[in-house]
Amino acid sequence: MKTILTLRRFLKNNILLPLSVVMIPFLFACNFISSENKEIATEQPSTAFNNYWFNNEAEITSYKLEQARYGEIRQGNAVLIYVTEPFSKKKQVKADNPTPNDFSVLKLNFTKKFNTGIYPYSMMNSLFLPIDDLSKPLIKATSSAQEWCGHAFTQLNQKNNKWNINSFSYFESEGDNTSFIPNDVLEDEIWLRIRTNPEMLPTGKTKLIPSLFYVRLMHKELKAYRAEISSTSEKNITTYTIYYPELERTLTIHYQNVFPYAIESWEETYVSGWGDKAQKLTTKAIKINTLKNAYWTKNAVKDSLLRKELGL
């Protein structure tokens, strides 16, 4: 019988709060388990978690990026923006006027910018993880890429125990398609799980849907692939590695193993380019700086100095 991967979640009894707060999240532990062996437990809410993530600020971290593209390494930058917000259960978008039926999410906007010769690339993944009920998986993911040849956009919504996919692209074979795939776990969800409680992240053999960035850049089929996962720790840094044998791709993330589990750097190795330009290269990102602020209020000309702090 085919194993369907799920997550072990830790969930505290719901605590209802005024809509201005929406819901207090709970620190949790999770693991990938088979559907035949689901486990649900409880854990006390973490004051540190609530104070850090529900303080009306986002966490913005910049990285120096070396991105593999067309068989060469390109210089650029990456930014991880984490923020909590109310989420509409019905529409699966940010709730303008939250109701008791809506819930809170931890959102990650993950951006990459780099140049390939004369023309630039701008890419962003947006990921939405429910945090009022941590027995729930990632509920939505979007991915976009813009460059001078055109742009592409993919959206995955968790509905009826499937991923509902809408894909748009300037490539005929990839554009204006609607499809469904099994609700396997997205690799991109790992970037959110690390920031909550990484102690129960999966290890061993499993299946994951690879990064939406990778799927777009390498024009791979959007589906789950076999993965081998390992984790090691040295002093205050944990190294978490995902290897896909079929794709010959490895992703390694280095993060602090104490709350708030900041991501320090990562590497991603695979064959980049096609034909005689194809070669195995490693994309690298190293942290520059982190700011905590309400960036949506920092839109005056004088606020551009904050970009200097981020090294952007």
Least confident residue range of 43-52, 236-245, 290-299: 43-52
Domain ranges of the chain: 5-309
Which runs of consecutive H residues, i.e. helices, occur in 21-100?
Answer: 47-53
What confidence score (pLDDT) does residue 22 get? 37
**What average pLDDT does the segment 174-181 reach?**
91
Greater pLDDT, 29 or 151: 151
Q: How confident is the model at residue 173 (pLDDT cuts 50, 70, 90)?
A: confident
Q: How far apart are CA 268 and CA 127, in angstroms?
A: 19
Looking at residue 65, its pLDDT comes to 98
Residue 5 vs residue 244, higher pLDDT: 244
Q: What kind and span of H or E run contains 194?
A: helix 190-196
pLDDT score, position 74? 98
Is it the case that residue 9 has pLDDT exceeding 60? Answer: no
**pLDDT of 117 strictly over 80:** yes
Q: Residue 219 phi/psi, 5° resolution?
A: 55, 45
Residues 6+ apart with CB under 8 A from 55: 292
pLDDT tens for 243-273 read 999 999 999 999 999 999 999 999 999 999 9
Q: Is the pLDDT of residue 31 over 50?
A: no
The model's pTM is 0.85
The answer to whether 212 and 154 are in contact (CB under 8 A) is yes
231: tokens are: 């984790």
On the question of pLDDT at 14 being above 90, the answer is no
Cβ partners under 8 Å of residue 32, min gap 6: 5, 6, 7, 8, 185, 202, 206
